[in-house]
Structure formats: structure tokens, C-alpha cells
Structure 1
């Protein structure tokens, strides 16, 4: 029984360390919500990873809904992204609920195209300077 308590203690400490990376009291987070567009079209079903260049905190993430809208989160209790420069990558999850359950009438092709662009060319650098609830994350790629 003593070994089980030790294991629980280790798991608790590890989970607390993971959460510390996004503590708003230690870092300058700004709320970020908006829409992802590729060549003027909204992009549903794409995952977004905001990786701060400072390296002091872990990434914030978001997933677009069927209208291309997103809300960035660092943890379930910390909304937003770290203020400053972030490398942004897009990925497509073919198992995302909206595709798996067939709830979206949108095509996953735009999400796949953004994902492929990031795989081949690396992240897109954004300088996020202030909170924004209507951020237009627009990407232009050659057709």
C-alpha cells in the first residue's frame, strides 16, 4: 500500500509541474479568439499550435469549429497565448469529432492543405501583441 501512495504522490507532482507552465500570474497571456482562413475561405477542423519563441511556457492550442472559429487555450483553466512572437503550426486530425461523427458539411481539404504546408515549410511566425476576440488568422498560399 505504501508504494501506491508514493506513486500517487509522484503523479500529483508531475501533474502540478505540467500546469505551472501556463500560470497566468507568472506569464503575460492574452486571450485570442478568431477565425482561420486559407486564401479567403474559412478552415474547419484544423488544430492550431501556438508555440512561444521565448520557450518559457508550453504551447497554447486551439481547434477550429465547422465555421473556422477558434479559441486558444494553454490549459483548461488558462485561456489565451503568451504575448509576443509565436511559431504557429496547423495540423489535421482525421479523427476529429466533426469528421468522425459526420456533423460537418464542410470538406477537410483546406485543413489538410494547411497541415501539409506546415509540414513542408515549417511554422508561420506571428507576433501577438494584445488580446483579440476577432483575430483573423489568414494564410495565403499559391493555388
Structure 2
């Protein structure tokens, strides 16, 4: 009986150590319709809702056209963190990309997404603005 009690205590302690959680403000960012060669950077904001530091171990995108970055610093409980994602807006057409976030959270892998459509040509509104500046 003592052994069972000891095992339960060890299991509970190891489970609570890995009880980090994080919640994204948005799990999908929709770029909408954007112009070719426009700014493709967006930011995912998340909060560590666990009771221990959250460490992002790795971030991988489903395509080389999408580059995710984070500070690499642990995010303390209750604090916010960011993952910056840059999409290559030189690629014309619709896109939907998945970013895998690997961390020490209870769910070790979290999927976030970006989507949108890159217009083939520059919009008239933007072209007029460029002409006025010259």
C-alpha cells in the first residue's frame, strides 16, 4: 500500500511539473487580400496560463515561404509572448500554411495557421499613392 501511495505522489508531482499551458489570442491569422511584395509579417500573441515557465523548444512551418521566429526566452506564468511569422508575399495566389509550435506545455505540439491571398498586381489605390509620392 505504501508503494502505491508513493507512486501516486510521484505521478502527481511529475504531472504538475508539466502543467504548463498557453493560450493564443488567435490561432489563425487571416491576411485577407494583400498586394504582391507587401509586408508579410504578422504576430501571434499568446499567454502562459500555466503555473511554470513556458519554453518554446522549436517552431516549424509547413513551407519555406513561411518563416516563424520567437525570442527564445521562457515566458513566465501570466505573461505574454509572441511568435512572429513572415510570409513571402512575392508568391501570388491563395495560401494556407501551418506552423507547429513545440514547447514544454502539457500538449507538446500546438498548431497555428496563416491564410490569405496575394494579388497578382499592385492595387490601384496603392499605385496612385506611389505616383503622388514621386
The two structures have a TM-score, normalised by structure 1, of: 0.34
Task: Name the structure where strand makes up a greater proportion of residues.
Answer: 2
Q: Which has the larger radius of gyration?
A: 2
The two structures have a TM-score, normalised by structure 2, of: 0.35
